[in-house]
Amino acid sequence: MKHWLGNSLRGVCMGAADVIPGVSGGTVALILGIYPRLINAVGSLGTRMLRRLRTRSFRLLLKEGFREPARLGDAPGGTEAGQILLLGSVVAGIVPAILAGAQFLPPLLSSHPAQMRGLFLGLVLASVAIPARQIGRRSPSRWVLACVAALLTTWFAGLPEPSTRHARGTVTLEFANPLAGEVRLTPGNLTLEAPPEDGRPAMKFGLSRPHIVPAGTTSLGVEVVARMAGEAGNLPASAIRQADGPVVIASVSQPALLTGGRDPSLAYIFVGGALAVSAMVLPGISGSFVLLLLGLYQSVLHSPALALRGDLHAAAVVATMLAAMAFGLLTFTRILKALFARWREATLAVLVGLMVGSLRKLWPFVEQREDGSAAMTLPIVGDPETVTVLVMFLAGVGAVVLLDRAGGRAGMGDGSGEGLQ
């Protein structure tokens, strides 16, 4: 039981990572040493395994294997039983972690974005060494594959997030005091909020573009965009009443209703969910970031809570996402399993490139462009934020090193990767 509890804890780490745009659950599985076994287990799901589950002897084998995994060994059906137990224990950790992470991680990313990205940058950068050291023959073709994958992922990670389905409107900010100096307000450093009301959850908004506010300014009219796509952002006048940013804002007034928010179709959600879960399987590509690029991240993240309150549309979104994830997972892992079986080292080289390319999304020092994309900037030497980001970066690197030494040796290239060699 201790063995499967450990896999559930690994699942918790993967689920928490899957909520974060820029960090892949596949990367965490790679760091924790279960990636090849997980791909092998998911890729083996099918009618044959379902038929085995219906037999009493196989269920008894599962029960025995749960208590003492070593007994599975060479027993008939032992490999399949081990795969099912691995999947069950990992899923038992992933599901509650995603539900909890949807509540706690977005506020941390919002309140400490640079520090959190610094932590994730350290985690992913250090974990690049794990698949890289498994490439036995580092030929020029392997380097070319890694470089091409890195360049494509870098381009993909730099795409601006769309906001065509997001509600928009205008608000007026009243500053507590005339500004003592020039202030730059950006979509990233100013958050406006409509408090919860009449069963509606709190809604967050950001600026549609950056503003340079001159010294002496006492008020400013700005256009705001809902951070969650969908009709839920079409709020009545005076709904937005709070703001948090680099200056003290005494009050926020919203003279007219917000318009333009449109719910995505269930067909679009299905396609997005299938693409996102396929990305989650790959180290370096974040499924959450795919949802962001498709304009689905916030609405999907909020749907489980709304569904629990009886919202039928949110329940339909959750059901569609679950179906899409099952379809994408079962389809893509079979492709990945076949790639490992036939072109193992080439596939590892591509994984290395994916992880390196994803670092662009995790760079802690960014400023927002007018088109919504993030431009990387250099850290300011001596700035307190730079120091805290560096500390978090080193913590991320240290965590990977410790995990790799403690248990990550069961990753690619050993017996745990059975079936992928």
For residue 28, the surrounding DSSP H or E stretch is helix 25-31
Per-residue confidence band for 285, with pLDDT thresholds at 50, 70 and 90: low
Given a contact cutoff of 8 angstroms between Cβ atoms, the answer to whether 358 and 284 are in contact is yes
247 phi and psi angles, rounded to 5 deg = -130, 160
C-alpha distances (whole Å) from 226 to each of 206, 223, 266 are 7, 10, 21
- Residue 82 covered by a domain: no
Number of domains the chain is built from: 1
- Residue 146 covered by a domain: no
Given a contact cutoff of 8 angstroms between Cβ atoms, the answer to whether 153 and 353 are in contact is yes
- Residue 44 covered by a domain: no
User: How far apart are alpha carbons 122 and 309 in whole angstroms?
Assistant: 38
β-strand pairing of 183-185 with 366-368: unpaired
Q: What is the pLDDT of residues 330-383, one digit of tens each?
A: 888 888 778 877 887 888 888 888 878 878 877 888 776 655 556 778 888 878
Alpha helices of 206-248 — where are they, by DSSP H?
none
Query: Has residue 219 got a pLDDT over 90?
Result: yes
- Residue 215 covered by a domain: yes
- Residue 197 covered by a domain: yes
Residue 156: half-sphere exposure toward Cβ, Cα within 13 Å: 25
Query: Can you tell me which residue has the tokens 């509540």?
Result: 103
Task: Find the helix packing angle between 78-111 and 56-67, rounded to 10°.
Answer: 60
User: How far apart are alpha carbons 303 and 98 in whole angstroms?
Assistant: 12
DSSP-assigned states of every residue in 174-207: EESS--SS-EEE-TTT-EEEE--BTTBPPEEEEE
Q: In the prediction, which pLDDT does 282 show? A: 73
- Residue 230 covered by a domain: yes
What is the residue range of 218's domain? 168-253
User: How far apart are alpha carbons 310 and 312 in whole angstroms?
Assistant: 6
Q: Between these two residues, 175 and 55, which has the higher pLDDT value?
A: 175
Of 4-8, 40-44, 233-237, the least confident: 4-8
User: How far apart are alpha carbons 167 and 204 in whole angstroms?
Assistant: 11
- Residue 309 covered by a domain: no
Query: Can you tell me which residue has the tokens 């703001």?
Result: 243
- Residue 90 covered by a domain: no
Given a contact cutoff of 8 angstroms between Cβ atoms, the answer to whether 169 and 258 are in contact is yes
pTM of the model: 0.65
186 phi and psi angles, rounded to 5 deg = -130, 165
